[in-house]
Amino acid sequence: MATRDHHSRKSSSNSSLGSRLLLTLLCVASICLCFSLFRKDASSRPLTAYSAVLGESDSNCNYSNGRWIYDPTVRSPTRYDQTCKEIFKGWNCIASGKSNAIDIVKWRWKPYQCDLPLFDPLRFLNDFRDTNIGFIGDSLNRNMFVALFCNLKRVSVEVKKWRPVGADRGFTFLEYNLTIAYHRTNLLARYGRWAASNSGGMLESLGFKEGYRVDADIPEGTWAEALSFHDILIFNTGHWWWAPSKFDPVKSPMIFFEKGLPVIPPIPPDIGLDMVLRHMLSYVEKQVRANAILFFRTQSPRHFEGGDWDQGGSCSRSQPLLPQEVEKLFSIESNGTNVETRLVNKHLYKALEGSPFKVLDITHISEFRADAHPSTAGGKKHDDCMHWCLPGLTDTWNDLFIAHLNAIRFRN
Ligand SMILES: *[C@@H]1O[C@H](CO)[C@@H](O)[C@H](O)[C@H]1NC(C)=O
Ligand SMILES: *[C@@H]1O[C@H](CO)[C@@H](O)[C@H](O)[C@H]1NC(C)=O
Ligand SMILES: *[C@@H]1O[C@H](CO)[C@@H](O)[C@H](O)[C@H]1NC(C)=O
């Protein structure tokens, strides 16, 4: 008090103007505060959680910015092992004797600004009781789905296996009434074989003989009805858009349709991807449950070196790549075998901008992990440098997914 008196006595008219200004500022600030409290109330956000959120939230940590650290003390496998029945044979690197299979999970991702803890399956089951979680996408989303299943199955054995709403496979953890399901779809949109008809048409007159008809505005049946069922959804698409062995640009091109009619002039796959994403995202936004949480996962990198999968390419590394090796393999400028990784992401980010989807960015952290694919242990004629060994990298994707989920849940 004395100090303040002292101050005010010394003050000139100049400083009384200053204090009036200060008062005005305080008023404005308190009005702002009231508004923000009101807004928090309106979204039923518990006030007590707010300050804690700032500490724990993902908003101030860039999970993608970090490095892989080798921890030889990890007793591996830490989470589940090769006995998890859901692991597809080609991904079960321990069972098939891949030389570094045990080492794969000794690498831990360390973001520079925070930690990414291994998610706790029991806490997850408890926190997400009565919840349905759908993975919608290609086999790489299945890889992530299986990793989540194996983690949960280890701590909760009462499981009902079934196929909810078009799913390829699904499991309900009965004690917690938590369901996870995988909906297989390569392009998100519906597609099928197309052949020229004798009666002719626009495409025939342009010289098209056969290919794949992709209905850009029609979701594939495997997931079209699933949106009213799931509370949390994780989408992906990408690998099939740069797959000339299936969608040969000459022998079996993708032919895009909209509103049941061919898009004329015909568009290449990368433009088609934009069109499909636009339609599919808007379909999801319209059909999804009111409080659903939406994720879109970014592209999973492949690590073919010395050629593509059908040209004898391989991935025989036993350690993650160094940052400069990552750039050499994946930079768009060097246009290497696996260049589609970052190209796909460009399309995804463009389509997702301003959408309610949360981007699950797994690309950069995965680019390092040339060591974590089944490689020759995949049991195919060619090396598998696309899918991931389980247990393995997609467990870390789930750590990231669940860290984001917890941050969202905590905020609400
Ligand atoms: C996060 O880190 C990654 C990898 O270093 C970087 O590419 C990306 O731009 C960063 N994101 C943000 C929002 O800063
Ligand atoms: C299980 O969860 C669903 C919501 O996903 C809910 O509708 C249903 O009533 C729950 N079942 C039981 C037995 O609690
Ligand atoms: C990238 O490489 C492929 C062949 O590997 C080639 O067909 C294509 O034209 C190249 N693209 C660019 C932009 O250089």
CA-angle at 71, arms to 66 and 73, nearest 5°: 155
> Cα(336) to centroid of ligand 3, in Å?
8
Residue type, 243: A
Cβ proximity of 341 and 302 under 8 Å: yes
Coil, helix or strand at residue 319: coil
Q: What is the pLDDT of residues 161-214, one digit of tens each?
A: 999 999 999 999 999 999 999 999 999 999 999 999 999 899 999 999 999 999
Residues contacting residue 383 through CB under 8 Å, at least 6 positions apart: 304, 309, 313, 314, 315, 373, 374, 375, 376
With CA atoms as reference, report the closest residue to 214 among 170, 165, 169, 253: 253
The Cα–Cα gap between 110 and 103 comes to 17
Per-residue model confidence (pLDDT) at position 36: 39
77 preceded by cis ω (within 30°)? yes
> Cα(136) to centroid of ligand 2, in Å?
21
Q: Ligand 2: which atom is nearest the Cα of residue 131?
A: 5
The Cα–Cα gap between 299 and 286 comes to 24
Cβ proximity of 346 and 281 under 8 Å: no
With CA atoms as reference, report the closest residue to 82 among 389, 303, 348: 389
86 is written with which tokens? 């859901």
Per-residue model confidence (pLDDT) at position 412: 65
Cβ proximity of 74 and 118 under 8 Å: no
The Cα–Cα gap between 374 and 96 comes to 9
> For the domain with range 47-411, which CATH number is right: 3.40.50.300, 3.40.50.920, 3.40.50.1110, 3.40.50.1370?
3.40.50.1110
Within 10 Å of residue 242's Cβ, how many Cβ atoms?
18
Q: Ligand 1: which atom is nearest the Cα of residue 62?
A: 1
Residue type, 366: S
pTM over 0.75: yes
Cα 332 to its chain centre, rounded Å, is 21
Task: Name the DSSP letter for residue 44.
Answer: T
Instruction: Kindly give the confidence (pLDDT) of every residue in the chain, 412 residues in length, as a single tens digit, with 9 standing for 90 and above.
Output: 333 434 433 334 444 444 454 444 444 444 434 343 333 333 333 322 332 333 344 567 899 999 999 999 888 678 999 999 999 999 999 999 999 999 999 999 999 999 999 999 999 999 999 999 999 999 999 999 999 999 999 999 999 999 999 999 999 999 999 999 999 999 999 999 999 999 989 999 999 999 999 999 999 999 999 999 999 999 999 999 998 888 999 999 999 999 999 999 999 999 999 999 999 999 999 999 999 999 999 999 999 999 999 999 999 999 999 999 999 999 999 999 999 999 999 999 999 999 999 999 999 999 999 999 999 998 889 999 999 999 999 999 999 999 999 998 877 6
**Residue 228 Cβ contacting ligand 2 at under 6 Å:** no
Ramachandran assignment for 389, one of left (phi > 0), alpha (psi -120 to 50 degrees), beta (any other): beta
Q: Torsions phi, psi of 42, nearest 5?
A: -60, -35
Our mutation pick for probing the ligand 2 site, out of 177, 232, 289, 291, counting the most ligand atoms within 8 A of Cβ, is 177
Residue type, 380: K
290 is written with which tokens? 């009111």
Per-residue model confidence (pLDDT) at position 76: 66
Orientation of helix 139-153 relative to helix 393-411, angle to 10°: 80
What is the chain's mean pLDDT, rounded?
88
Within 10 Å of residue 47's Cβ, how many Cβ atoms?
9
What residues are paired with 212 via a beta bridge? 193, 254
Task: Name the DSSP letter for residue 375.
Answer: B
**Residue 132 Cβ contacting ligand 2 at under 6 Å:** yes
**Residue 65 Cβ contacting ligand 2 at under 6 Å:** no
Per-residue model confidence (pLDDT) at position 59: 62
**Residue 177 Cβ contacting ligand 2 at under 6 Å:** yes
Per-residue model confidence (pLDDT) at position 15: 44
Per-residue model confidence (pLDDT) at position 6: 40
Residue type, 336: G
The Cα–Cα gap between 408 and 412 comes to 6
User: Which amino acid residue places its CA nearest to atom 3 of ligand 2?
Assistant: 130
| DSSP output for 176-238 | TTEEEEEEE-SSSEEEEEEE--TT--HHHHTT--EEEEEEEEEE-HHHHTGGGT-SEEEE---
Within 13 Å of residue 7, how many CA atoms lie on the same side as its CB? 9
Cβ proximity of 86 and 150 under 8 Å: yes
- Pocket of ligand 1, beta carbon within 6 A: 62, 64-65, 364
Our mutation pick for probing the ligand 1 site, out of 330, 359, 364, 365, counting the most ligand atoms within 8 A of Cβ, is 364
Within 10 Å of residue 44's Cβ, how many Cβ atoms?
7
> Cα(64) to centroid of ligand 1, in Å?
6
The sign of the dihedral angle between the CA atoms of 395, 219, 132, 159 is: negative
Coil, helix or strand at residue 165: helix
